[in-house]
Amino acid sequence: MAVSHLSPEEEELIAAIREIATERVAPRAAEIDRTGEFPWDMKELLAQQDIYAMPFPVEYGGLGSTKLAVVRAIEELSRCCATTGLLLAVQQLGAMPILLAGSEEQKRKYLPPLARGEWLAAFGLTEAGSGSDAAAMRTVAVRKGDRYILNGSKRFITNGGLAQVNTVFALTDPRAGTHGISAFIVERDFPGFAVGRIEDKMGIKGSQTAELIFNDCEVPVENLIGREGDGFRIAMRTLDRTRPGIGAQAVGIAQGALDLAVSYSKQRVQFGRPIAENQGIQFMLADMATKVEAARLLVYNVAEMIDRGEERFTMYSSMAKMFASDIAMQVTSDAIQILGGYGYMKEYPAERMLRDAKITQIYEGTNQIQRLVIARELLARASA
């Protein structure tokens, strides 16, 4: 097990989450994937067990858990069901702009019901023509009296249409590029807010991904997060702190695939002996295990950097997300190979794990973008 500096109390919490994941989440994973329906029972489970409360400060009804404990919780849930692990990860993502830059009034209004799991959160940055290039967004917010009027749309939004609390980014000064982006809290029942298409996805099929539409959507001035023009900085600070959660999701998926491959190789008999006795299989398992552990260390390391209050962790956040997600794709593919024909069939979870792993290379910043972030940080440090 990777080095992890949790308190005894948090170690007990993670052990409890591991047990919950094994006994209650794992039996639901295949059905969630098959139906593609949002797992309301898993949402209620996370709420009842105070798992949703982990990323939130105690003063707002949360547990005040460390970042390390949160990523470990996401990992344990994702080991059994990537969709369920994402429930915790996206709750943190959608709430993070409020945690980082929200007013005291905003925090007291929105964070307690999110911590209790009564409300869901979503993060609205991506648009149909604006993914990695946030400056290309077209959603506009114009202030009129005590309201901002939003027009535009967001695409590929996790929890879209289900979230009561949507942190949405829009241009308040279209001429200023990224400096003209502002952040808003948009409630689901605000006038002019609607849900568009629901996406039919390759993986994480129980997680609802939707288009958000703003047609003269009225947002109270007090729902501006920070100041006008702060939006891009808030979004980047948010993603720096939530990408380790996607790395943890990837580690969990990879660990689940490794566990499956080890178990199957000990049971599958060919030529009169378990295939686990074949050196070729042993080498594959050894490589898979080493990659998973390396990815886990990167994720835990950046989580602890954040917990220590270190400021320059952006590069390590990108490294953790990039490496862990690449490893998840490699390990799930190798698991399918070890299972052979059975690995290709839906009877076994290996093919689901591979489909779920793919998105971790894409969302919260593609791995190509992560490589750019890492390289720019390296070059900036060399220049300094």
The residues pairing with 269 across neighbouring beta strands, listed in sequence order, are 274
Q: 300 with 4: CB under 8 angstroms?
A: yes
Catalytic residue chosen out of the listed positions 76, 127, 351, 364: 364
Residue 377 catalytic?
A: no
Tokens found for residue 95: 């709430």
The DSSP-derived string for 155-171 is EEEETTTT-SEEEEEEE
Residue 207: DSSP 8-state: S
Give pLDDT, residue 132. 87
Give pLDDT, residue 2. 65
Tokens found for residue 209: 């991904």
Q: How far apart are CA 73 and CA 85, in angstroms?
A: 8
pLDDT in tens, the chain (384 residues): 567 789 999 999 999 999 999 999 999 999 999 999 999 999 999 999 999 999 999 999 999 999 999 999 999 999 999 999 999 999 999 999 999 999 999 999 999 999 999 999 999 999 999 988 888 999 999 999 999 999 999 999 999 999 999 999 999 999 999 999 999 999 999 999 999 999 999 999 999 999 999 999 999 999 999 999 999 999 999 999 999 999 999 999 999 999 999 999 999 999 999 999 999 999 999 999 999 999 999 999 999 999 999 999 999 999 999 999 999 999 999 999 999 999 999 999 999 999 999 999 999 999 999 999 999 999 999 988
3-class secondary-structure state, position 211: strand
* Cα 220 to chain centroid, rounded: 28
10 Å CB burial of residue 378 (0-12, 13-18, 19+) is exposed
Give pLDDT, residue 4. 72
Q: How far apart are CA 284 and CA 262, in angstroms?
A: 10
The structural domains of the chain, ordered by start, are 8-115 (1.10.540.10), 121-229 (2.40.110.10), 232-383 (1.20.140.10)
pTM: 0.97
Q: 326 with 367: CB under 8 angstroms?
A: yes
Give pLDDT, residue 6. 94
Q: 111 with 98: CB under 8 angstroms?
A: yes
Q: 225 with 169: CB under 8 angstroms?
A: no
Give pLDDT, residue 349. 98
